[in-house]
Structures are given as C-alpha cells and as structure tokens.
A and B are shown apart, each in its own frame.
Chain A
Amino acid sequence: MGTLTIGVFSSLIGSMNLDFAVKLAETAADKGHNVNLWLSGNATTAAKKGQKEYKDYSYLIKKISGLQKKGVQVAACEACSEARGIHAGEDIIEGITSIGMDWYVAKAAKSDRVLHIGVE
C-alpha cells in the first residue's frame, strides 16, 4: 500500500473539487492506502465549524470526520485560514490540524503520489 497526499485550493462552495478530493481520499483509505488531505486557499472554508447543511450546497463536515476515523490526516493552511477569520482552536473543526504550508510539502515529499488541485 502507498501514501497519497491530496492538496486542494478550491472553495467548499462554488466548486466541486473538494467533493471530488474527499471522495478520492475516502476510496484510497478504504483500499488501505495512507492518505493526507491538505486544505489551502479557499479550501480552508471546509474546515470552518458551524456550517449548516443545505441540500443545495456542498457540506463535507461529516465526510471529513469519517475520513479521520479511517486514519486520513487532514490539515488546513494556518495563514489561509486565519486570513479568512477561521481561527485555530475556536473555529476549526475538531481533528483538523491548523498548520503551516511546510507540513504539506513535507507530506508531499514523502508520498508515493501527490494530487495537487491548485485551481479555484
């Protein structure tokens, strides 16, 4: 089994790239791979507590919690989050690490595969 690191920079709402990334992470974890998920730029909005579920908007909190139970490490870019008023310890969903970009590039460097979704 290998290690897959997925980086996403797209908004939770306004793009479905995050939905794709979470589903891929879930599938890879189910197959026994180690998976890391990095949320950066607008993707940090997925890490915000207190989101309300509407059927017309992407809502990934439950799925991200499920990923964590499967051993997926999920981290959000600290600077990108703070810039959006999403503060570590108060606003970020439990289990998501708020950390610097060096975490992501380090995880990527040690991974067998990196899928970097660097678009909006």
Chain B
Amino acid sequence: MKLGIFYSDLRGNHDMLFRLKGEKIGVFLVGNGIYHATIKEKGEPSPILQKKEIDYYVLSEDLSTRGFSTDEVDSDIKVITYSDLTDLIMNDYDKLAWL
C-alpha cells in the first residue's frame, strides 16, 4: 500500500500516524499540521518527523497563511503547492487517510 496521510493539527493523533504501515508512506502537513515543519518546541523537532522512512511534505499556501516562509521549513520536508499535492495524490499514493 502506498499511503498518503494528511495531518492537520498541532496536537494531533501521533499514535495512529506511527501505527500505519505501508510500502510507501507520505505525510502531508496541511492546516495547523504545518507547525510540525516549522516549530522546534523546547528546541526539538516535532516527534512526528522522527520516521526516516516517511516522505514529509508541507503545503506552502498553509505555511504562508500562518506567517511562515519556505526558509523556515526543516530541510527534510518538501514544500509543495496545491498543484504538487494534486499530482502526488493522483500519481504517487493509492490510498489516502486524513487523521
């Protein structure tokens, strides 16, 4: 399963995120999920970014909406637009889950 997971909260369901497995996992940080890509709480990166085998993406429009720029995003996370997001979900992931 190539699973695209949408994550839209700052204080969300981390447990479920880590329990989901697949041949390919991508996490799309949208809405308030973008804070995981930008904030280092107590100096530490978000715990949701700890999985090396996951591809992380953050939605640029939701970064800008909340006052962040691409420069402030962790280098392991790819900044994408709605157009990129559409291509990714239609071409690279066969199932989608909004947690």
Contacts and interface: CB of A to CB of B under 8 A. Distances in A.
Direct A–B touching in the complex (beta carbon < 8 Å)?
A: yes
Interface string A101-120: 00000000000111111110
Chain A contact residues: helix, strand, loop or mixed? mixed
Contacts, number: 46
Contacts of B90: 2, 4, 28, 33, 112-113
A4 B61 CA distance: 21
Given A17-B8, A20-B31, A118 B98 contact: yes
B86 A28 contact: yes
Contacts of B98: 115-119
B83 interface: yes
A89 to B, nearest CB: 31
A33 B30 contact: no
B51 to A, nearest CB: 22
Contact of B86 (A16, A20, A24): A24
Interface in B54-99: 61-62, 82-83, 85-87, 89-90, 93-94, 96, 98-99
Interface of B: 6, 8, 30-31, 61-62, 82-83, 85-87, 89-90, 93-94, 96, 98-99
